[in-house]
Structure 1
Amino acid sequence: MLEFHLGTILFQLVVFLVLMIIVTKIAIGPVTDMMKKRQDHIDQQLNEAEQSQKEARELLAKQQEELKKTREEAHLIIENEKKRAEAQAQEIINQAKARADRMIEEAKLEINNEKAKAIASLRDEVAELSMLLASKVLEREVKKADHEKELDAFIKQVGDRL
């Protein structure tokens, strides 16, 4: 059977309490400190990770904003260059039209000059022919029929030269 001795129980209880105090001082205290340090370290790493993630999000947002601005600037540059190219094309067209107009005016002037020369030459010939006709008329006595014949020949000759 089982016997209980009060002295043994008290001794075992004192030993157990002393062992508990020793274990608490030697083992549990350092383990608790180590676990607290480990928890602090984990908390610090989590905070650093959250901070890094926050910075990464901010950097991403900033880069996206800069990319958006760059795209807008590129679009503006392209639009400005298109407008400038269109203006240059229009300027080239205007210059070509002005040059064509000048060439047409010069051609008209040249035509008018040639026309004036032709008219002057024709006048000279008409005057010459008139003098020739007058001299022929004076050289002989002209009857009315001969006179009309000479006039018709003169008009025909002038008409052929025109």
Structure 2
Amino acid sequence: MIDIEFSTIAFTIINLIVLFLLLKKFLIGPINDVIKKREDMIAGTISDANNQKAEAMKLKSQYEDTLAGVDAECRDLREKSRVEAQNEYSRIIDQADAKSVKMIKDAEKTIEIKQNKALSDMQSQIAELAMAAAGKIVGGEGDAESAGAAMYDEFLNEVGDSGDTEGN
């Protein structure tokens, strides 16, 4: 059978323990240190990523609030511009109406003045013609002037009365 000696087993066990301690000291220890460093680095990276994500969410919220404020301001500006445009439109229309009313009144006054002048000129011409006709009718009589003047006055009264009824 196999001849196993206690000293060989003891020596093998001691060699295994020394080998284990040496491997633990020089191989497993540095490997565990590298693994720990990597775990710390990964945990730090995850923590930084979470912080950046939280910061990004905060910035997103601020941008959304700012965007909502800008949107509201745009609506207000559009409404204000619309109201100002409507007011300007109304002012221009009122101003044009006032100008047209003034122009119509000025034209009516001008027409009235020209009409009165034309009527006056016609009365003068008719009076001259009436005087000339009266002078021819009366001929050369002595009180032709007084008769002509009376006829003239009567004619003017008749023309004036008929002119007043036509004008009114």
Alpha-carbon separation, structure 2, partners of 1:59 and 1:84 = 37
Q: Are positions 1:95 and 2:89 aligned together?
A: no
For residue 5 of structure 1, report the CA deviation from its aligned partner: 1.9
Correspondences of 1:62-81 after superposition (within 5 Å): 62-81=62-81
Q: Are positions 1:122 and 2:122 aligned together?
A: yes
Alpha-carbon separation, structure 1, partners of 2:129 and 2:53 = 111
Alpha-carbon separation, structure 2, partners of 1:135 and 1:111 = 35
Query: Counterpart of 1:4 in 2: which secondary structure?
Result: coil
Q: Are positions 1:54 and 2:54 aligned together?
A: yes
Alpha-carbon separation, structure 2, partners of 1:45 and 1:72 = 40
Alpha-carbon separation, structure 2, partners of 1:6 and 1:108 = 146
Alpha-carbon separation, structure 2, partners of 1:4 and 1:88 = 117
2:62 aligned partner, one-letter code: K
For residue 139 of structure 1, report the CA deviation from its aligned partner: 4.3
Alpha-carbon separation, structure 1, partners of 2:2 and 2:115 = 156
Partner of 2:17: 17
Alpha-carbon separation, structure 1, partners of 2:3 and 2:95 = 129
Partner of 2:83: 83
Alpha-carbon separation, structure 2, partners of 1:106 and 1:39 = 98
For residue 74 of structure 1, report the CA deviation from its aligned partner: 2.2
Alpha-carbon separation, structure 1, partners of 2:77 and 2:20 = 81
Query: Counterpart of 1:2 in 2: which secondary structure?
Result: coil
Alpha-carbon separation, structure 2, partners of 1:81 and 1:125 = 65
Query: Counterpart of 2:86 in 1: which secondary structure?
Result: helix
Alpha-carbon separation, structure 1, partners of 2:105 and 2:2 = 142
More divergent stretch after superposition (39-48 vs 26-35): 26-35
Query: Counterpart of 1:97 in 2: which secondary structure?
Result: helix
| Uncovered stretches (5+) of structure 1, i.e. residues with no partner | 141-153
1:24-83 deviation line (CA, Å, top 9, x unaligned): 111111111111111000100111111111111221222222222222222222222222
| Uncovered stretches (5+) of structure 2, i.e. residues with no partner | 141-154
Alpha-carbon separation, structure 1, partners of 2:43 and 2:118 = 110
Alpha-carbon separation, structure 1, partners of 2:115 and 2:74 = 60
For residue 98 of structure 1, report the CA deviation from its aligned partner: 1.1
Alpha-carbon separation, structure 1, partners of 2:35 and 2:138 = 150
Partner of 1:30: 30
Alpha-carbon separation, structure 2, partners of 1:73 and 1:3 = 99
Q: Percent identity?
A: 30
1:44 aligned partner, one-letter code: G
